[in-house]
Chain A
């Protein structure tokens, strides 16, 4: 699906309808990251919890999550400066749950477009794509949609090459179909303890990937 056909793969900045210009002013690059996290609030909020300091900071991780972002917004950011002057060895991508105007096919296409962009700009990097989490207290259409996106990604991402898909949402839906507010305080965003749960798998995979890759000798970027 080309960008002309897929609106979810069309880069777009967030328009400042509220009036304080927050979206444009976010992101500061004050590190040379080995790992770059990019996505929506699922990524952004992670940095506010202890788990980030304990598990991901030591891996020299940079957090480019912005709440509310769709695949279009992430695509725009990555095309317009965020990948400049950094060479992370692994990029962790977590976006898609906010693509309310797009179908599951389009969302998956948008995520693929982002992965392709990253690989073209950072040819020696690897990518981890996190599956979209279930959401809402009880079964609802958005859960079905996110699951459909994940199925599409599972099938299509490996074809891109050094891209791994992991679904960390398995433990959140209980046998009665409900999600607990102890895992998602608003049935969308994760609590501290839920982040700990998903971080174990993610951390292990990151360590594995980083170990497999020779560290580039750092040329001076200044």
Chain B
């Protein structure tokens, strides 16, 4: 009985991947968003329509994805039929059991694949957000990942890093449920807060991109 459930799950994920690949054959996005549920859910709120659709953006977010899943998807077809100018990468918070060095390594591996497949694209890596209602090891882990990634990409001209935290952690160390309704995922208001600077950065990258 359990095997049927596992098979059903894998089936769903592969279908989602296949849908992204076939979606990509019909579209010509200037911007590709790829990552986990923070990317995926972004597509479901007004902010996507207002800020990112006008930039001709495509959304390849999959809830639950860790770096190895995103890597697999990009190696196996999701980049094969499109030439976005900017790839926005937001992944790493689901890498449970991995060290910050390993997660950074996973992110760098994704950046390398993107560069191989899309040599003219600029990759914008988004910093991992703090999570959990109160201070906890995952906040430290995510902050370490950000520091490591930021250092690694500093010397790469085709990659840049954007810190996405507008100050979610309050003075008492807590995160408000008005910003993260489950202390992981962003509310629509929080998406508005983080997406303004993201939108600006993407626009300036598009402007700089050779036509």
Contact = CB atoms under 8 A, between A and B. Distances in A.
Interface of A: 17-22, 25-26, 28, 44, 47-49, 66-67, 100-101, 103, 135-138, 140-142, 181, 185-189, 191-192
Interface of B: 1-2, 4-5, 7-8, 11-12, 15-16, 19, 40, 43-45, 62-63, 96, 131-134, 136-139, 177, 181-185, 187-188
27 contacts: A18-B96, A18-B138, A20-B131, A20-B132, A20-B137, A20-B139, A21-B133, A21-B136, A25-B134, A26-B177, A26-B183, A48-B187, A100-B2, A101-B2, A136-B12, A137-B16, A138-B15, A140-B8, A140-B12, A141-B5, A142-B5, A185-B43, A185-B44, A186-B63, A188-B12, A189-B63, A192-B44
A33 to B, nearest CB: 16
B11 A136 contact: yes
Contacts of A20: 131-132, 136-139, 183-184
B4 A141 contact: yes
A25 B132 contact: yes
A22 B131 contact: yes
Contacts of B8: 136, 140-142
B138 A48 contact: no
A47 B17 CA distance: 28
A138 B43 CA distance: 22
Contact of B183 (A22, A136, A137): A22
A94 B1 CA distance: 24
B132 A22 contact: yes
- Between B43, B139, B181, B185, the greatest number of chain A beta carbons within 10 A of the residue's beta carbon is seen for B181
Contacts of B134: 21, 25
Contacts of B182: 22, 26, 44, 66-67
Contacts of A49: 44
A17 B137 CA distance: 12
Given A22-B132, A22-B133, A47-B181, A103 B63 contact: no
Nearest to A101: B2
A96 to B, nearest CB: 14
Nearest to A186: B63
Contacts of B15: 136-138, 187
A66 B184 CA distance: 12
B44 A191 contact: yes
Nearest to A41: B182
A92 to B, nearest CB: 18
Which 10 A-B residue pairings sit nearest by Cβ, starting from the closest?
A: A20-B132, A25-B133, A20-B136, A20-B138, A22-B183, A141-B4, A140-B8, A137-B15, A100-B5, A19-B137
A154 B5 CA distance: 24
B81 to A, nearest CB: 18
